[in-house]
Amino acid sequence: MSYLEEEIGQEDKLIKGSENGDFGLKLLFLGLAQTGKSSIIQVIFENRSPETTKEIQATLGVRRKLLEFSNLSLNVYDVGGQITYLEEAFIDLRESIFSHIKILFFVIDASKYHDFNLAKSYFDRAIKNLSEYSPDASLVILSHKSDLIPKEERAKAVEVISDLFEIEIYPNVEIFETSIFEQSLSDAIKETIK
């Protein structure tokens, strides 16, 4: 059994320093606290039922999981969204987190528009780090928890985020409206991970 196979499915791991080695497609989930990053990972890649995600505890630090999805090996980084952990990710762990990224999923709670500006400041920092460490990475913004806003306002939320995040200036950014309770999430993930 290879090292990778041995690690797949094991308890997730707390990242403390540089991580070397090729563990598969590296995905990075970033966003403010409680936006739904760990829920997305567990619902899509670990078959957790959306209803039980209420029990998920806040992510402390940066966690890494090796998972399988559509016959692909994934190396999934989940950065706790509390400011302390975000700062740790952007300062102390910068190189190990932002190197070799295939896709950055930047998760926004679409119902919390007061947080959009703070989210944007971290998005800008993420882009800066990616341009340095993973210039070929794709960027995917999830306008998430769309079930919390009326159907007729969902497209507007996407528009507001797209404008604020200036996505038209980046050739490799896509934005999707998602919810763990709807098909939209799995469609978006399948479209981006090929």
**How many Cβ atoms are within 10 Å of 169's Cβ, its own excluded?**
8
DSSP state for residue 172 in the 8-state scheme: T
- Which of 56, 69, 164, 186 touches ligand GTP by CB under 6 A? 56
Buried b (16+ CB within 10 A) or exposed e, 102-128: bbbbbbbbbeeeebbeebbebbebbbe
Would you call 143 helix, strand, or coil by DSSP?
strand
Residue 13: name the closest of 53, 61, 50, 81 by CA. Answer: 61
In this complex, which beta carbon is closest to Mg ion, that of residue 141 or of residue 167?
141
Residue 154 binds which one of Mg ion, ligand GTP, none, with CB within 5 to 8 A depending on kind?
none
- Which of 7, 29, 32, 38 touches Mg ion by CB under 5 A? 38
* Tokens 């399988």 belong to residue: 68
What part of residues 139-178 is at the interface with ligand GTP (CB under 6 A)? 144-145, 147-148
In this complex, which beta carbon is closest to Mg ion, that of residue 80 or of residue 116?
80
DSSP 106-118: EEEETT-GGGHHH
Torsion angle, alpha carbons of 189, 8, 96, 124, to 10: 10
- Which of 7, 15, 28, 59 touches Mg ion by CB under 5 A? 59
- Which of 23, 35, 44, 137 touches ligand GTP by CB under 6 A? 35
Is residue 81 within the footprint of ligand GTP (CB under 6 A)? Answer: yes
What part of residues 89-148 is at the interface with ligand GTP (CB under 6 A)? 144-145, 147-148
Report the interface residues with ligand GTP, using CB under 6 A.
31, 33-39, 53-54, 56, 58-59, 80-82, 144-145, 147-148, 179-181
Report the interface residues with Mg ion, using CB under 5 A.
37-38, 59
